[in-house]
Chain A
């Protein structure tokens, strides 16, 4: 033991639906699961990940190619996050082709509609169990 307090688990929550995002963030904070950083778009997530590192990412794939491109950037070390960053995604539609691509990108969890706060918080708990070092 070092005697210093461990850094809080930091989660980037990139979800456009404001009520869903706010409730998930509030619940995660109230349960002290994570230091949650909220953004409403992939573009905002990308900007933040150019300057900050996180311990996990929960991302809505609604933005399509831009969202997948962000996952590629993470895995190719083109963000400040570790390339092994634990990632969970929300997907309105998920074909076999999508699933194959997400597996390739080492996405740990895929949540399908209807998106529930309870499922998302459970996913955050699961992501916490997979700590990674920062890049």
Chain B
């Protein structure tokens, strides 16, 4: 397993995340409806809005997962925020970065992952909108486009006046 990287500008990224005043806040319908919509659109058992904190990823919204956070070093989303584009892992069992990851070898037994970085206007990726399945899957260009548009709706909510940070 390759641990999720700590980004060179991680302190600035964490500042941007904390300025949202959203970590450890209650669930909100404005995020939950997007996550539920994504789960139905992609027939995906697990969908998350994951925010990558210093040592953990914390889930602002989730479908299909009981846990409200996991360690950052084993997180797929920690890898996803390190790249500008959507990270797609069609079969984690065949990917050296993840094949022996405890999230793959034990519950929730991730095999498929697609994570779209939540890129704020400041340029910092604070987390992802991600899709997870327990079986390998393909993900085509149209799927990427749909996930990218749903990701932007999440970013719009993070930026929206009157949101949790105001």
What is the interface of chain A, defined by CB distance below 8 A to chain B? 19-20, 22-23, 26-27, 30-31, 114, 116-118, 121-122
Asked if A26 and B34 make an inter-chain contact with CB atoms under 8 angstroms apart, the answer reads no
Query: What B residues does A23 contact at CB under 8 A?
Result: 37, 41, 146, 149-150, 153
Interface of B is mostly: helix
A114→B39 CA distance, assembly (Å):
12
Asked if B34 and A19 make an inter-chain contact with CB atoms under 8 angstroms apart, the answer reads yes
Question: Number of A-B pairs whose CB atoms are under 8 Å?
Answer: 34
Question: Provided the pairs A22-B153, A23-B153, A121-B142 are in contact, do residues A116 and B41 lie with their beta carbons within 8 angstroms?
Answer: yes
Asked if A114 and B40 make an inter-chain contact with CB atoms under 8 angstroms apart, the answer reads yes
Give the nearest-CB partner of A19 in chain B. B37
- Could you pull out 26 A-B pairs where Cβ atoms are within 8 angstroms? A19-B33, A19-B34, A19-B153, A23-B37, A23-B146, A23-B149, A23-B150, A23-B153, A26-B149, A26-B152, A27-B142, A27-B145, A27-B149, A30-B145, A30-B149, A31-B142, A31-B145, A114-B40, A116-B41, A117-B41, A118-B41, A118-B142, A118-B146, A121-B142, A121-B146, A122-B142
Q: Known pairs A23-B153, A27-B146, A31-B145; list 5 more (Cβ under 8 Å).
A: A19-B37, A20-B37, A23-B150, A27-B145, A118-B41
Give the nearest-CB partner of B148 in chain A. A30
A121→B140 CA distance, assembly (Å):
14
Give the nearest-CB partner of B150 in chain A. A23
Query: What B residues does A114 contact at CB under 8 A?
Result: 40
B143 within 8 A of A: yes
Between A23, A26, A114, the greatest number of chain B beta carbons within 10 A of the residue's beta carbon is seen for: A23
A22→B145 CA distance, assembly (Å):
13
Q: Shortest distance in angstroms between A25's beta carbon and chain B's nearest beta carbon?
A: 9
Q: B130-165 vs A: 1/0 string, CB under 8 Å?
A: 000000000000110110111011000000000000
